[in-house]
Amino acid sequence: MVYETGNQTVDESVAKVLDGDQIDRTEALALIAQPVEDLAPAADAVRAHFGDDTVDACSIVNAKAGNCAEDCGFCAQSVHFDTGIETYGFLDPEEILDAAKRAERDGAQRFGVVVAEKGVSKEKRPDEWADVLRAIRLVRDETDVEIDASLGILTEEEAEILADEGINHYNHNIETSPRYFPEIVSTHRFEDRVKTLERAKAAGMDLCAGVILGMGEAPTDRVDAVLALRDIGISSLPVNILNPVARTELGDKLGDAADITTEEIIKTIAVYRLLLPDVRVRLTGGREVNLDKDEQHLPFEAGADGILTGDYLTTEGQSPGDDIEIVERAGLRPNMEANEFDPEAVKSRSKSVADGAAESATASGDAELDD
């Protein structure tokens, strides 16, 4: 396959990737400076060459909220910031199963059990660890979705147990580059996160590990973060865009907007596709607040082929039906390898929920006027 834009920097990198070679840091940094109109379609051509024109959807449940002792500057769940979120201990495993069944009905291919803490500890909190395993088994045995987990830092023993229980992907984001990481987190090191990823991979789990864009990092940091993930060996790259939360460190520093433009988001996604041609590049949290509704298809025209659908950990997301429409607008289709579902039914359910909410809001408004 030959792909030419007339932009030598882009064309040479694309040719190298299509030949099965890797582009290096110097090439990636040169690419991220290229015009988006050259870079995005080139990355999409690479996605089409290595992929299958499907977008893989995952969903998560916030299985334990708040009271995290870590000081990640973006996180509403840290005890270091008074953000006013709801906090609770580990959910009943049956509640987690119910969430997984809803995700499956709405077209998710994989479902992640997520906790907000440094790590679920088998030794320090054995009862919680037992509930984690019970939840995993319920989802594994009673749904067709792939079961993933994001449980923080792991020991070798814990990683081996999770792999034996059937965890498909272990999620542990590195957030940013090694250089910029200390600007975001001080209570643990970048190397701690890498070590957990290495343990999870050694135990036999695939890795889902990604970044947050717009935290004040430089373009070089965006490249270096994914080069580190390429060295580790991941199969899914979640790309979050900061949604600044009031009273967090970054919320206070940046206000209500991430430190990144729409064009920079698209170009970064495109470079990630060229750096990781056979990895699911997954658009995740923050896209709704950083991209207008009529822009959200653009990352999928620049190499993205995965999405986190539904709600996030402490903020609401879009409906699965809306996400399917965005995917289809980009000329792609939902992945159905893990479970069969009807995309039109998902969209119809989402529309019914939206219409019901609108009717409720109208009725509420009428009542207020009547009063």
Q: What's the rounded Cα separation, in Å, for the pair 308 and 133? A: 23
Cα→Cα distances 170→89, 129, 238, 300, Å: 21, 16, 12, 24
Q: Are 105 and 309 in contact (CB under 8 A)?
A: no
Burial letters 267-293, b for 16+ CB under 10 A, else e? bbbbbbbbbbbebbbbbbbbbbebbee
Per-residue pLDDT, 365: 43
Per-residue pLDDT, 358: 41
- DSSP annotation of 226 reads H
Angle between helices 156-164 and 190-203 (to 10 degrees): 40
Cα→Cα distances 131→42, 74, 123, Å: 46, 28, 14
Cβ atoms within 10 Å of 71's Cβ, excluding its own: 17
Cβ atoms within 10 Å of 133's Cβ, excluding its own: 17
Q: What's the rounded Cα separation, in Å, for the pair 197 and 206? A: 9
Task: Spell out the per-residue pLDDT of the chain, length 371, in tens.
Answer: 667 888 999 999 999 999 999 999 999 999 999 999 999 999 999 999 999 999 999 999 999 887 787 888 888 888 778 777 778 889 999 999 999 999 998 889 999 999 988 788 888 889 999 999 999 999 999 999 999 999 999 999 999 999 999 999 999 999 999 999 999 999 999 999 999 999 999 999 999 999 999 999 999 999 999 999 999 999 999 999 999 888 888 888 888 889 999 999 999 999 999 999 999 999 998 888 899 889 999 999 999 999 998 755 545 567 888 888 999 999 999 887 877 776 778 778 766 655 554 444 333 344 333 43
Could you give the domains of the chain?
37-352 (3.20.20.70)
Helix, strand, or coil (residue 1) = coil
Q: What's the rounded Cα separation, in Å, for the pair 220 and 179? A: 10
pLDDT in tens, 92-135: 999 999 999 999 988 899 999 999 887 888 888 899 999 999 99
One-letter amino acid of 294: D
8 contacts: CB under 8 Å, gap ≥ 6: none
Q: Are 301 and 53 in contact (CB under 8 A)?
A: no
Any known ligand binding at 58? no
Q: Are 253 and 216 in contact (CB under 8 A)?
A: yes
321 contacts: CB under 8 Å, gap ≥ 6: 346, 347, 348, 349, 350, 351
Taking the CA of residue 2 as centre, how many other CA atoms within 13 Å lie in the half-sphere pointing to its CB? 2
Per-residue pLDDT, 355: 53
Per-residue pLDDT, 361: 39
The pair of structure tokens assigned to 134 is 């019970």
One-letter amino acid of 42: A
The pair of structure tokens assigned to 249 is 């460190």
The pair of structure tokens assigned to 102 is 């809803």
Any known ligand binding at 208? yes
The pair of structure tokens assigned to 295 is 């822009």
Helix, strand, or coil (residue 335) = coil
Q: Are 91 and 64 in contact (CB under 8 A)?
A: yes
Can you say whether the dihedral through the CA atoms of 241, 233, 176, 123 is positive or negative?
positive
262 contacts: CB under 8 Å, gap ≥ 6: 290, 291, 292, 295, 298
Cα→Cα distances 75→96, 203, 318, Å: 22, 29, 20
Per-residue pLDDT, 152: 92
